[in-house]
Structure 1
């Protein structure tokens, strides 16, 4: 079993060239980071069409963590000239579908690969184009789909309210940094980090990440 994530940037045709360039560069940097973390043999991510990306994750229990790392990385982007870490409205985001299932053909080009996980992910993203949703999952188990698509709807509500500063704090927390370490990186007080952490809904997000990992491990890995 693998996870396939398929994502489209939202309203990318409206992005100014410097914004799109920074988004694509950020995604490439994050692809490298998650590859180093999970192992190059366990994850492959690629940009296609210039405004979409797709990835294969052979440890499906980490798919949601990867999605949130990529999301927070681009949600924190702003082009304001400032010396301090400040909160601005987000200027970029994406819709993403996670498909978990089997793989039949895996080629060097991800777009040429196929199987259950690819079909789940691609078709779900297509369905989302007419929905007010940014994150969905599809597996062969309806109880898993129902649980997490309900949770992901709430997750979307939380992340839609992120400022760039909130997204930045979440990003570093997802990398495993503690509050004091995040404060040092951003050169702000620990209390400011804590405030942004609360504003971002981090406690609820961290619980969801643990629940997702627990369920996916039990159903697809331990339950084999």
Structure 2
């Protein structure tokens, strides 16, 4: 079994050329890092504002969240000048887990139920306003994470770019002191941002997700 992550930028037509260029540079850097860190993963940017990738199921949510926070933490020059921490760029992300019956070097030329689960659900999300979903062939898992990701959306919709920034570095397993040094703020400020972002709840969800993936899905089988 494989996980297919399909994502697109929210409201990308409203981005300035400068913001879109910066966002795409961030996406390219992040998917390159994910491909290096996780074996058998491959991602492609297409249509100028969309991402699709194949990865082992157990790493799919963590990787999706890394891409999301990498973009959410972005602060344009305009935002910096106005001292704004409003999130300027975001992703709609659909994870599909299943078989890949037709696999080519190009992800765009590959097909299978994992692609269908991911792609079809992303299309449905455009109508519902959801930002993170999971679809598998097991209804029990779908139901559990449909509710969990609804709560996840509620938490992340309240983030500032500062909150997303701290979560991004926590996902890279950096300690609070390391994050503080990187951002040039105190450790207590990092801890406050971590709590405000709901890190404990997100970590619990991520650990539950990875536990379920290990129990039910083995890469390639």
TM tier, smaller: over 0.9
Verify: 1:37 aligned to 2:32, yes or no: no
Please state whether the residue corresponding to 2:7 is helix, strand or coil.
strand
Q: For residues 20 and 130 of structure 1, what CA distance do their matches in structure 2 show?
A: 23
Residue 100 of structure 1 corresponds to: 97
Paired residues of 2:74 and 2:89 also in contact (CA < 8 A): yes
CA offset at residue 80 of structure 1? Answer: 3.2
**Secondary structure, counterpart of 2:217 in structure 1:** helix
* 2:36 equivalent to 1:46: no
1:65-118: per-residue Cα shift (whole Å, max 9, x none)? 0000000000001113799xx760001111111000001111121111000100
After TM superposition, the score normalised by the length of structure 1 is 0.94
Q: Return the alpha-carbon distance in structure 2 between the equivalents of residues 70 and 11 of structure 1.
A: 17
Q: How many residues are treated as equivalent by the alignment? A: 219
Distance in 2 (alpha carbons) for counterparts of 1:122 and 1:209: 22
- Aligned residue in 2 for 1:175: 172
Deviations 1:146-200 (A, max 9, x none): 0001100000111111101000000000001011110011110000000000011
1:109 aligns with 2:109: no
Which sections of structure 1, spanning at least 5 residues, go unmatched? none
Q: Which residue of 2 aligns with 1:10?
A: 10
Which residue number corresponds to residue 200 of structure 2?
203
- Mapped contact 1:98–1:121 kept (Cα < 8 A): yes
* TM-align CA RMSD: 1.7
Q: Counterparts in 2 of 1:1-224, with a 5 A limit?
A: 1-39=1-39, 42-57=40-55, 59-80=56-77, 88-221=85-218
Q: Gapped runs of 5+ residues in structure 2?
A: none
CA distance in 2, matches of 1:8, 1:82: 22
Misfit runs of 4+, over 4 Å: none
Between the aligned partners of 1:211 and 1:141, the Cα distance in structure 2 is 16
Aligned equivalents of 1:193, 1:49: Cα separation in 2: 36
Deviation at 1:33, TM superposition (A): 1.0
- In the alignment, the residues of structure 1 paired with residue 106 and residue 35 of structure 2 have an alpha-carbon distance, to the nearest angstrom, of 16
